[in-house]
Amino acid sequence: MSTKEHNADAEAVVDHVKAEVRRNRRPSVQFIDKSLIRRRSSGQEKQQQQQQQNQQLTRLQSIDSHDENEAPDTDQQKQDSTASDTDSDAEDGVGPNIREMQHKNKNGFNDFAVRRIKHAEYGRREIQIAEQEMPGLMALRRRAESDKPLQGAKLVGCTHITAQTAVLIETLVRLGAQVRWCACNIFSTQNEVAAALAEESIPIFAWKGETDDDFWWCIKKAIGGDQGWQPNMILDDGGDLTHYCHKHYSTLFSTIKGIVEESVTGVHRLYQMCRTQTLTVPAMNVNDSVTKTKFDNLYLCRESIIDAIKRCTDIMFGGKQVVVCGYGEVGKGCCSALRGMGCFVYVTEIDPICALQACMEGYKVVRLEEVIKQVDILVTASGSKNTITRESLDKLKNGAIVCNMGHSNTEIDVSFLRDSASSDLQVERVRTNVDHVIWSSGKRIVLIAEGRIMNLCCSSVPSFVVSITACTQALALIELYTAPPNRYKCDVYLLPKKMDEYVASLHLPAFDAHLTELSDEQCKYLGINKAGPFKPNYYRY
């Protein structure tokens, strides 16, 4: 054999072994049960895989010695692997105890807890992308930064930790606020983004895949009692932070100026506190503001539901039968997207007005029991409790997909799955945020994100729509913080319509949209001011 042929054979072997190493370097799942179920590798399997990889690398190094042009990866190249390449095991609950780790950023700041601070650079890039698609919030930052309307505010926040939220957090800091933050959902945190915020010395306590104990620990750390820090404003998403403060730090409310809440669940809790006269500070209901309801709930869900289900199941939607429980703004967005993909869509609804709207849009309004046995996908968007029960799940056909688009994680009752000893069902992990629930008969359904909000757990959401919501939150915080004493009582308020219109106006330049101006005569005829507000409070849009 000639030298040229020998070198060609050696190069072919090198390429083959390299390909094997790449395939085996990060095995995300292992196949069992005749390739029908995917789950995480056991510790023994991972040990065997590591041994195989070491053997392959040894072979590769011996072959590479014949080729002077080949060089092993440098340490810098290893560090340049993307964060997503190194985080999948951690997101599945494998890895060190974040609470016990010694955290420190490049400046020596250590008042935070995130998955991997070294991934801050990737998170910063994510934030930069989000900033480009959040024109309204960036415009608000530029306009208000010099005035510092939140100077002196000590704000504790509990929201989804995403690139879009990071833009809001950094905007609040630029407007003068001191902040401490934690996550409102154990699955929705983007670890790289949390690391980027920690690198900027922002106290943040969040990582993807928290346990329930971790979740409450992070809330406690964010409140900052151990650091001698006392908040005077709360930004909440779901009401857990407000509930925890009320239960464990009730004395804080003597200095808190207000609460801003953006979710159905959290607003419901605030109204309950108001009825029982346990709400001792003013609260702003951002969830029911026009800019939140009509844009975040509708358009965000319309775009994100398809992406989330696709990522989790690789399903083709055409011809599938889907039932959406609830035809509020979230349900409207989900139904629109699913029908656009070729699904047959059924709607369940308790409200005759919403039900009539669904009928007028061409959807079949049914009771769940009428269609439960035939549907392929079941989506909850009701904001209620136990919309889907064990009885409903028992009736689903084999292979059905069950997921939740509502904020509350109580819409799908999965409590009977948490105790494996008493449950007659088997739960097997397929991939991150995807489980098979298996009956003794062999029937299995696909449960996404353990019944928690699917789009934020399993995919991303449109930054532009989040910009609208984030502007609304920022303005609500400014309004409550700067309001004169006694303007707001211990009650739940909606954002003034003038502010809703201002938020919308901040986003119109992105579309090169130009508003028509009323003449003085038209203003007099309509009985409105030329600068707005343009609709009465009872207008429904």
Q: Which amino acid is at 148?
A: K
**C-alpha of 178 from chain center:** 23
**Do the beta carbons of residue 346 and residue 324 sit within 8 Å?**
yes
**Do the beta carbons of residue 186 and residue 449 sit within 8 Å?**
no
**Do the beta carbons of residue 412 and residue 380 sit within 8 Å?**
yes
In the block, residue with structure tokens 């990060």: 26
3-state SS, 101-120, equals CCCCCCCCCCCCECCCHHHH
Torsion angle defined by CA atoms of residues 175, 181, 187 and 190, in that order, rounded to the nearest 10 degrees: 50
Cβ neighbors of 121 (< 8 A, separation 6 or more) are 196
261 is in an annotated binding site: no
237 is in an annotated binding site: yes
CB burial readout 53-64, b (16+ within 10 A) else e: eeebbeebeebb
479 is in an annotated binding site: no
Q: What pairs with residue 448 in β-bridges?
A: 434
CA-based nearest residue to 463, from 124, 131, 125, 122:
131
43 is in an annotated binding site: no
307 is in an annotated binding site: no
89 is in an annotated binding site: no
CA–CA separation, 60 vs 249, rounded Å?
60
Both tokens of residue 304?
């994100």
CB atoms under 10 Å from CB of 336, counted, come to 17
296 is in an annotated binding site: yes
9 is in an annotated binding site: no
**Do the beta carbons of residue 231 and residue 477 sit within 8 Å?**
no
292 is in an annotated binding site: yes
CA-based nearest residue to 283, from 330, 326, 246:
246
CA–CA separation, 435 vs 305, rounded Å?
18
Crossing angle (nearest 10°) for helices 463-482 and 163-174? 30
258 is in an annotated binding site: no
The CA angle 410-412-416, to the nearest 5 degrees, is 95
CA-based nearest residue to 348, from 322, 373, 374:
322
Both tokens of residue 330?
């979230």
- Distance spanning both ends of the chain, measured CA to CA: 81
For the annotated binding site, the residues are: 162, 237, 262, 292, 296, 328-333, 349, 455
For the annotated binding site for substrate, the residues are: 162, 237, 262, 292, 296
For the annotated binding site for NAD(+), the residues are: 328-333, 349, 455
